[in-house]
Amino acid sequence: MMPTEHPEHYRSGFVSLVGRPNAGKSTLTNAMVGTKVAITSSKPQTTRRVIRGIVSTEDHQLILVDTPGLHRPRTLLGERLNDLVAETLSGMDAVAMCIPANEKIGPGDRFITEQLAQLNNTPVIALVTKVDTVTRGVLADQLVAVQQLGEELLTPDSDEGFVEIVPVSVKGDVQVDTVVDVLTAYLPQSPPLYPDGEITDEPDDVMVAELIREAALEDVFDELPHSLAVVVTEMEEREGQPDDEPITDIYAQIYVERDSQKGIIIGKGGAQLRSIGQRARKSIRKQLGTSVYLDLVVKVAKEWQRNPKHMNRLGF
Ligand SMILES: Nc1nc2c(ncn2[C@@H]2O[C@H](COP(=O)(O)OP(=O)(O)OP(=O)(O)O)[C@@H](O)[C@H]2O)c(=O)[nH]1
C-alpha cells in the first residue's frame, strides 16, 4: 500500500488546555473538535495521557490532551507537585491556560500559572474564555489583568508573560477558529501522529478508567500517589431506556497495594469512596453525554506495579 502523502508543511502535535474548574476547557475542546469528539487514550512510557479531541485538517492535526492533576491542586505540595507538572505536561508542544472573562483572577489561576512557570521551553498561551458574558470594558480590564498575571508569575525574570492572549467565546462562535490557528502555529512540522483510522468517537474503557483514577487521586494523592490503578470490567449502555434518557452502566475496580491503602480509599463508613464515585460519575457523564451508574470496588493487588501479571491485567 502507498503511504498517505502529506504536504511538507503539515504540522501535528500535542496541546494541553489547563485552567481551574469551570474555566470552559471542555466546552472549548468540543467546539474546536466539532460535533464529534474523538476520545481516545494513549499510553507512552512516561505519562498516561487522555486525549480529549483531535482537530484534523489538510494542513494540521491538533491533539488536545487533558492533564489530570494540575487543576486539582488541593492536596499537592512542593516537590511532588513539581514532578506532577513536569510529568503531565512533558511532551506538550504548547499549553493553553484558560481564564474566564467573567470572573476575577483568583488563587486558582495564580496557582496554576506559578506551576506553568516551571515549563522552561513550552510556550504558554492564555485563552480568555466566555467573552460573550462581559462588556467590552470588562473584557479590556481582564485582558490587562491576564497580561499582568503572566508577567508576574509565568516569567518572573522577564516581562515576556504569555506568548499570546486570545479572547474567545464558544457561545456565538467568536474566535474559536482563531484559537485553533494560534495553537497550531506552535506545533512542529510532522506528519499526522494519529492515523485517521485510529481515532474513534467511541469513548473507551481506558478513558473512563483514567477519569476514575483522576477522581480518586484528587483526595488521596498525598497518601498514595502512584499505588493506584483502575480497571473497568464492564461498560454497557443499559437496554430498554428511552432514547432521550440513556444510562451507561459501568463496573470498575480500584486497585491499591496494601490493606491500609484500601482503608484510605474507602474512608469512614465508605464516605471517601462515595465522594470519589460522585466526582468520577460527574466527569464520566460529561464525556459520555449519558447518565452513569457507577459501581466501584476496591481491591488489593500486592505490589502490582512490580508484578507483570498484575500489570497486564491492569492494562499497562
Ligand atoms: N456563556 C458562555 N458559557 C460558556 C462558554 N464556555 C463554557 N461555558 C459554560 O461554562 C461552564 C463550564 O464550562 P466547562 O467547559 O465545563 O469548563 P471546564 O473548564 O471544562 O470545567 P471542569 O471540567 O470543571 O474543569 C459550563 O456551564 C459551560 O456551558 C462560553 O463561551 N460562553
**Same domain? 46 vs 109:** yes
**Same domain? 28 vs 77:** yes
Contact 96/18 with Cβ under 8 angstroms?
A: yes
Q: What is the pLDDT of residue 297?
A: 93
**Same domain? 178 vs 222:** no
**CATH number for the domain including 240?**
3.30.300.20
**Same domain? 229 vs 285:** yes
**Choice among 153-157, 200-204, 270-274 with the minimum mean pLDDT:** 200-204
Atom of ligand 1 nearest to the CA of 172: 31
Q: pLDDT confidence of 111, banded at 50, 70, 90?
A: confident
**Same domain? 280 vs 138:** no
Q: Select the more confidently predicted residue: 87 or 206.
A: 206
- Name the residue of 22, 30, 134, 170 to mutate for ligand 1: max ligand atoms within 8 A of Cβ: 22
Residue 180 lies in a domain: yes
Residues within a 6 A CB radius of ligand 1: 19, 21-27, 71, 129-130, 132-133, 169-171
Provide the grid cell at 194. Answer: 494519529
Atom of ligand 1 nearest to the CA of 168: 31
Task: Please give the distance, rounded to the nearest whole angstrom, from the Cα atom of residue 313 to the centre of ligand 1.
Answer: 36
Q: What is the pLDDT of residue 255?
A: 85
- The binding site for GTP consists of 19-26, 66-70, 129-132
One-letter amino acid identity for 201? D
The answer, yes or no, to whether residue 267 has pLDDT greater than 80, is yes
Q: What's the mean pLDDT in 18-38? A: 76
**Same domain? 153 vs 259:** no
**CATH number for the domain including 126?**
3.40.50.300
- CA separation for the pair 97, 261 (Å, rounded): 34
- CA separation for the pair 305, 236 (Å, rounded): 28
Residue 3 lies in a domain: no
- The fraction of the chain above a pLDDT of 70, given in percent, is 75
Q: What is the pLDDT of residue 51?
A: 67
- Grid cell 491576564 — which residue? 146
Other beta carbons less than 10 A from residue 234's beta carbon: 10
Task: Please give the distance, rounded to the nearest whole angstrom, from the Cα atom of residue 23 to the centre of ligand 1.
Answer: 6
**Same domain? 178 vs 247:** no
- Using a cut of 0.80, tell me whether the model's pTM lies above it: no
**Same domain? 182 vs 250:** no
pLDDT in tens, 130-172: 999 999 999 999 999 999 999 999 998 888 999 999 999 999 9
User: Which residue range is the domain that position 301 belongs to?
Assistant: 203-313
Q: What is the pLDDT of residue 200?
A: 47
Q: Which residues pair with 63 in a beta bridge?
A: 14, 54
Q: Burial letters for 78-94: b for 16+ Cβ neighbours within 10 Å, e otherwise?
A: eeebeebbeebbeebbb
The answer, yes or no, to whether residue 94 has pLDDT greater than 90, is yes
Q: How many domains does the chain have?
A: 2
The answer, yes or no, to whether residue 39 has pLDDT greater than 50, is no
The residues, any chain, with a CB within 8 Å of residue 164's CB and separated by 6 or more, are 125, 126, 182
Give, rounded to a whole angstrom, the gap between the first and last alpha carbons of the chain.
31
Average pLDDT of the chain is: 80
Q: What is the pLDDT of residue 316?
A: 46
Beta strands in 135-237 (DSSP E): 164-167, 229-237
**Same domain? 186 vs 210:** no
End position of a domain, from candidates 180, 197, 214: 197
Radius of gyration of the chain (CA): 20
Atom of ligand 1 nearest to the CA of 30: 15
Q: pLDDT confidence of 304, banded at 50, 70, 90?
A: low
Among the ranges 36-50, 151-165, 198-212, which has the highest mean pLDDT value?
151-165
**Same domain? 28 vs 174:** yes
Q: What's the mean pLDDT in 241-268? A: 89
pLDDT in tens, 278-294: 999 998 888 788 899 99
Q: Does the ipTM exceed 0.90? A: yes
